[in-house]
Structure 1
Amino acid sequence: MPRLFLETERMSNLSSGLGQVCLHLGRELVRQRPPGWELTFLVPPEQVGAFGPSVEYIVAKKWHRIWQPRKFDVWHCLHQGSKFLPPRSTRLIYTILDLNYLALPEYSEKRKSRQKKYYQQCIDQAYVITTISKYVAEDVRQKLVVPASTCLEAIYCGVDIPAMHPVNPPAVRPDGPFLFFIGMLQPYKNVHTLLPLLDAFPDYRLVLAGPDKPAYSQQIRQQAEQMGVLDRVLMPGPIDEQTKWWLYEHCDAFLFPSLLEGFGLPVVEAMAFGKPVFTSALTSLPEVGGSEAFYFPSFDASTIVETFRKGMQTFRDDPAMSERLRQQSRRFRWENVAADYWSLYERAIR
């Protein structure tokens, strides 16, 4: 009986994108499990049982980083920063979500060098490397050394959209038409460039949801105050799933001007609601948005405003666009992701 080990310890934070990846991919892997496979999940203590009674659980502890468990045939690390690695005799599937750590200016070159060395050690040990976009795969080839004998494959993330959308308004809701962003509020998300939209379109509010870096949040508030639009900027911090889905459902448009994304999950979520999406043309985002998203060619105020103005007019003039946006989002489903990974696991034991 082949044994698969899945490192899902980051489910300790289910409000994060990585926590959601671990949860939804894990569930779909269990649902699609071929006969004869034994699955074991490494989880935080509060998530024991999250994948049902038909699998085994090991509670993650710090000493597990040097712990050698019973033998597994395949070991899947679901993110590049995992500190839980198998013995070299076990075939490792090493998933890289992004190499943003190596690009962010807030980290010293010494820290980046140390992290890069760790990524390389994992790559050298891996049987297969997977990334969540072609952009990340190319970034890996440029910044790290992939052995000629090691397969590097892009397997996109999935998106889990509830069948029933929330009906009751949440506590966090604007008192008029609004534009929506969700994600970590930090400088590379570039959301301060959206504020000129409030000056150009005075009927709109702007909801910026997600955990923040305090210095950047303060910068946004100061800039909004100087522009006289602070009263129309809502920054509720992290929000629950029901609030998130309600905001997608009721926003006029979704805005995502990020400079650095391994995948861009919120873009797909917004498209699933048939909403017009305005995003950056950088990194992985054109892969995800495809031909149906609107892209900011630059981030000066006049370009942001004109791109939005023309895009919204295009959206209003094309009644079929909402359905095409939904079709684009359907390319990214967990059942497809899990099927691709089961193909990899089966290949690893041959």
Structure 2
Amino acid sequence: MRFPNSGLFHYCKNLGENIVADSTDGLDAPLTMYVPSTAATAFERSSIRTIVETAWHKVWKPFLLDCRVWHAPFQSGRMVPNRKLFRHISTVLTIHDLNALHEDKPEEEQLRSVRHVQKMIDQSDVVVCISEFTRKDVETHCNLGRTRLKVIPNGINPLAAPRASVLTYKPERPFLFGIGYVNRKKNFHTLVELLHRLEGWEVVISGRLDEPEYIASIQEEIERLGLTDRFHLTGPVSEEEKSWYLHHCTAFVHPSLAEGFGLPVLEAMSAGKPVFLSDKTSLPEIGGDAAFYFRNFKPDYMAEVLHDGLEKFNTNQMESVVKSHANSFSWGRTADAYARIYKSLL
């Protein structure tokens, strides 16, 4: 939870608050969140106890003596109790993705990533995958042994009230919106050539500028094509800004090459917007029949998919369809499923 605008932050926050508020199974043991100092006040409900991480916790975590179930919320972390020292603790591990396998990374980097995930699995009693696609990846590339495997989809984040007064940039034309870490995996550079084929449009991409060389290559292409007044990288934005962009864009675009889930897709649908996604990894599972898909990233083809998709969306009045699809993902149901797992381990 170190980065307040990240998907992992919202995953932890929504799961914690909904287990306390809405879990129909309930829990006989108190829920405690172990958080970094930056997230000390992240949870709004007074019933959620928090323990703030400190430097000396690297040496000793006394609260583990009373812990019965430990939930490691991310497969790339290292916060798993030592089984030999804490035999009384059962561990739940959530695996969001094995994206290293789908990002055209060197083989050694892929193997290193899978080895780390395997080490986490070996220390866990239950593994939860957030999508069927991730489950298939885990079953194919990891050894589960006797560890139980479950699939529990994420819920949808409630959008903040949109506020134009806080905008980093306010578009002056119809615009496409995308959000996420701006890196090669997200594939946002394909939208530059797409925009070059769309007269009178803008593209706004928000999110952490993650890879300097990749950012520089996008900016060079923007300048080469004369799109500096129409293609905008805002950097990170507040929840209010994100909500404004989602409510006012003409369409949401997400050409990502690798996703374990894709929460922004559902957020855009909850605002009643058409979404245009790559057909890679988990995105067809999350978008379903309510989304439109880029089967390749040739700019003329992408422009055709966008044109035809917008026409179909407007002709068939699909706003209610995408909202209904988004609302089928519920943090309440997600929290109930996790609560049942916790309770089974107590």
The answer for the alignment partner of 2:54 in structure 1 is 61
Structure 1 contact 262–283 (Cα < 8 Å) conserved: yes
Q: Does 2:154 match 1:157?
A: yes
- The correspondence of residues 133-172 of structure 1 with structure 2, limited to 5 A, is 133-147=131-145, 149-162=146-159, 164-166=161-163, 168=165, 170-172=167-169
Give CA deviations for 1:149-187 in whole Å, capped at 9, x if unaligned: 322111111122237444657242111111101011111
Q: Identify which of 242, 257, 275 aligns with 1:244.
A: 242
1:30 matched to 2:20? The reply is yes
The separation in 2 between residues aligned to 1:177 and 1:328, in whole angstroms, is 25
Alpha-carbon distance between aligned partners in 1 of 2:49 and 2:296, rounded to the nearest angstrom? 50
8 A contact 2:92–2:125 mirrored in 1:
yes
Please report the RMSD computed on the Cα atoms of aligned residues, expressed in angstroms. Answer: 2.0
- Aligned residue type for 1:93: V
* Aligned pairs for 1:208-287 within 5 A: 208-212=205-209, 213-287=211-285
Q: Structure 1 length normalisation: TM-score? A: 0.90
Select the residue among 6, 30, 45 that pairs with 2:37: 45
Contact 1:273 1:326 in 2 (8 A): yes
Percentage identity across paired residues of the two chains: 36
Which stretch shows the higher mean deviation, 115-124 or 158-167?
A: 158-167
CA contact (8 A) 2:71 2:91 kept: yes
The one-character-per-residue Cα deviations of 1:6-58 (angstroms, maximum 9, x if unpaired) are xxxxx221111111111111111222362532122111124334434434322
Residue among 306, 309, 313 paired with 1:308: 306
Report the CA distance shift for 1:239/1:70 in structure 2 as closer, same or farther (over 3 A).
same
Q: Secondary structure at the match of 2:115?
A: helix
Which secondary structure does the structure 2 equivalent of 1:191 belong to?
coil
Matched, 1:130 2:128: yes
Q: Is the 8 A contact 2:203 2:230 kept in 1?
A: yes
Change (3 A) 1:229 1:292: same
1:211 maps to amino acid:
R
Spell out, residue by residue over 1:93-132, the C-alpha distance to the aligned partner (whole angstroms, 9 max, x if none): 10011112354456x5555444432211211221110011
Q: Which residue of structure 2 aligns with residue 184 of structure 1?
A: 181
2:204 and 2:233 in contact (8 A); partners too: yes
Instruction: Determine if contact 1:65/1:84 at 8 Å carries over to the other structure.
Output: no
User: Distance between the aligned counterparts of 1:169 and 1:42, measured in 2?
Assistant: 31
Contact 1:196 1:305 in 2 (8 A): no
**How far apart are 1:261 and its partner, in Å?**
0.5
Tell me whether 125-134 or 35-44 shows the greater mean CA deviation: 35-44
2:35 partner amino acid: V
Ranges in structure 1 where 5+ consecutive residues have no aligned partner: 1-10
Taking the aligned partners of 1:46 and 1:228, their CA distance within structure 2 comes to: 40
| Aligned amino acid, residue 49 of structure 2 | E
Stretch of structure 1 that moved more, 45-54 or 184-193: 45-54
Q: Which position in structure 2 is the counterpart of 1:97?
A: 96
Please give the TM-score of this superposition, normalised by the length of structure 2: 0.91
Alignment of 1:100-115 (within 5 A): 100-105=99-104, 109-115=107-113
Unaligned runs of 5+ in 2: none
Amino acid at match of 1:124: D
- In the alignment, the residues of structure 2 paired with residue 129 and residue 62 of structure 1 have an alpha-carbon distance, to the nearest angstrom, of 28
Measured at CA, do residues 95 and 66 of structure 1 come closer, stay the same or move farther in structure 2, by a change above 3 Å?
farther
**Change over 3 Å in CA distance of 1:167–1:185 after alignment to 2:** closer
Query: Quick one: distance in 1 between partners of 2:331 and 2:342?
Result: 16
